[in-house]
Structure 1
């Protein structure tokens, strides 16, 4: 039977991040070159597993509790920052106005302008939960972990610097900057999932690998999220040892972020 994932394209192609660029200012480019997390930092398990509810608002809030319990102490210890909690908004219309502008046709995205918000498409997740409940829970878990990765980038100053630099580039160079940002968020998401692999259960790893095989930029679309091979590489790297310091996509060679 044909699986419904093609209806929402590939995983990362359905996930986007938006940030209101500063009008002026001189960003510190070194924030992208320096390791955000020391190599010795290993994430602890959240002991959460996959939320079982089909209510995406409740699903999102539960995932935020789990993500904050792991990332909050790490960020405070390594960077001295107290993580703010983003809001979760489930929308049921074809498009929605946000502080980042009007957004449409997107399963999930993060807006870091003003009040940080993770937006989730109610209709998209309802269709997925109806057709494939188990796989959809894994998909939604991965989506929330990825969007929280963008929230980390926002809190740590990476988002502002990277999107500002991207605004000064064009063509392939601008797309490459986007891929470095997206692949870092995916790698951090995988590190969180890898740390919690026991609670996620024995079936999660196989479902996660299946999702990875369909995660990447679609042919003929802008190269903003990375190829299937690049997404697989960075996700597996993060998942393997749950060390976010390994996710150094901004200093990786171009071939590693294709």
Structure 2
């Protein structure tokens, strides 16, 4: 993917290095699961991840109230700063994230404008270790996520290292897919999909909510594919980029993650979609370049 020298978004908050306290859980956010805690301490166990995901998707809007015991504050004003590891806020990874976010802004602004609507840019928050959002408190172990409450994407860029080293999904377009997927949730929030889902799931059984969650996630994958197609049409993709994104989608499918972490799958617990589903819906969006092709709520997925 050709990204250097292109426009970078100003809608990025660098909270890396902020001092935080409390319980490392999130609430109500739309996230990419990573199948287990991080190595080296501070991560959640597999059971912990499952509990977090169940709470995020199955219970009411604000499940962190049950977990954190109250509001959790943090230090720092969210401005650009040095990270805890001494990495400058204008490092190459930050430039990459800003560039990809800018590209999604351009794409979705164009798509919304074509239907007579105005796209509202989200904010992307870079954090290290732990972060507080309007959806509650989260740790890096939960993976990247989108919070409808503040319309922000949250990303610990060390997730990209894990995506490559642990899951075998390397490449800049694989990383861009992760960002575009979370932006896809923002699009869902703007068009009313997420508010409706949050309302409906309070009346659903666990199985029903998981099934609906899969459809929500697959649509975000399809929206990421729509962005990918528009980026390809601009001439910014290289040979092999599409395969990178499809491989990433495959590696973070529910069935693949469960096989890797526990050795067996529990289909009724799937809430993001199988590897085959995630690849198929990303490819559908990529092939069409049209968000109208991303109706995951009608028929089989």
TM-score by length of 1: 0.71
Residue 252 of structure 2: aligned partner: 215
Residue 42 of structure 1: aligned partner: none
Cα RMSD between the aligned structures? 3.0
Deviation at 1:126, TM superposition (A): 4.9
Asked whether the equivalents of residues 103 and 231 of structure 2 are also in contact (C-alpha less than 8 Å), the reply is: no
2:290 pairs with one of 218, 238, 243:
243
Task: State which structure, 1 or 2, has the greater radius of gyration over its C-alpha atoms.
Answer: 2
Asked whether the equivalents of residues 89 and 120 of structure 1 are also in contact (C-alpha less than 8 Å), the reply is: yes
Change (3 A) 1:62 1:250: same
Question: What do the CA deviations read for 1:80-117 (whole angstroms, capped 9, x no partner)?
Answer: 43222211111112x3221101112123111110x311
* Residues 125-204 of structure 1 aligned to structure 2 (within 5 Å): 125-126=160-161, 135-197=170-232, 198-204=235-241
Deviation at 1:242, TM superposition (A): 1.2
User: 1:69 and 2:89 equivalent?
Assistant: no
Q: In 2, Cα distance between the equivalents of 1:252 and 1:58?
A: 40
Residue 14 of structure 1: aligned partner: 34
Change (3 A) 1:129 1:211: closer
Change (3 A) 1:54 1:203: farther
Asked whether the equivalents of residues 179 and 224 of structure 1 are also in contact (C-alpha less than 8 Å), the reply is: yes
Residue 227 of structure 1: aligned partner: 274
* 3-state SS of paired residue (1:102): strand
> Which of the pair has the greater relative contact order for Cα pairs under 8 Å at 6+ separation?
1
Q: In 1, Cα distance between the equivalents of 2:106 and 2:127?
A: 26
Q: In 2, Cα distance between the equivalents of 1:186 and 1:174?
A: 18
Change (3 A) 1:54 1:145: farther
Asked whether the equivalents of residues 107 and 230 of structure 2 are also in contact (C-alpha less than 8 Å), the reply is: no
* 3-state SS of paired residue (1:92): coil
Q: In 1, Cα distance between the equivalents of 2:103 and 2:156?
A: 21
Asked whether the equivalents of residues 75 and 82 of structure 1 are also in contact (C-alpha less than 8 Å), the reply is: yes
Deviation at 1:123, TM superposition (A): 2.8
Question: What do the CA deviations read for 1:136-195 (whole angstroms, capped 9, x no partner)?
Answer: 412210011111100101111111011211222122101011111100010010121123
Change (3 A) 1:127 1:246: closer
Q: In 1, Cα distance between the equivalents of 2:290 and 2:91?
A: 30
Q: Which runs of 5+ in 2 are unaligned?
A: 1-30, 36-52, 63-89, 259-264
Q: In 2, Cα distance between the equivalents of 1:58 and 1:131?
A: 24
Q: Which runs of 5+ in 1 are unaligned?
A: 1-10, 23-52
Identify which range, 121-130 or 169-178, moves more after superposition: 121-130
Identify which range, 229-238 or 208-217, moves more after superposition: 208-217
How many residue pairs are counted as aligned between the two chains?
210
Residue 81 of structure 1: aligned partner: 117
Q: In 1, Cα distance between the equivalents of 2:128 and 2:290?
A: 36
* 3-state SS of paired residue (2:132): strand
Residue 6 of structure 1: aligned partner: none
Deviation at 1:74, TM superposition (A): 1.5
Deviation at 1:131, TM superposition (A): 9.5
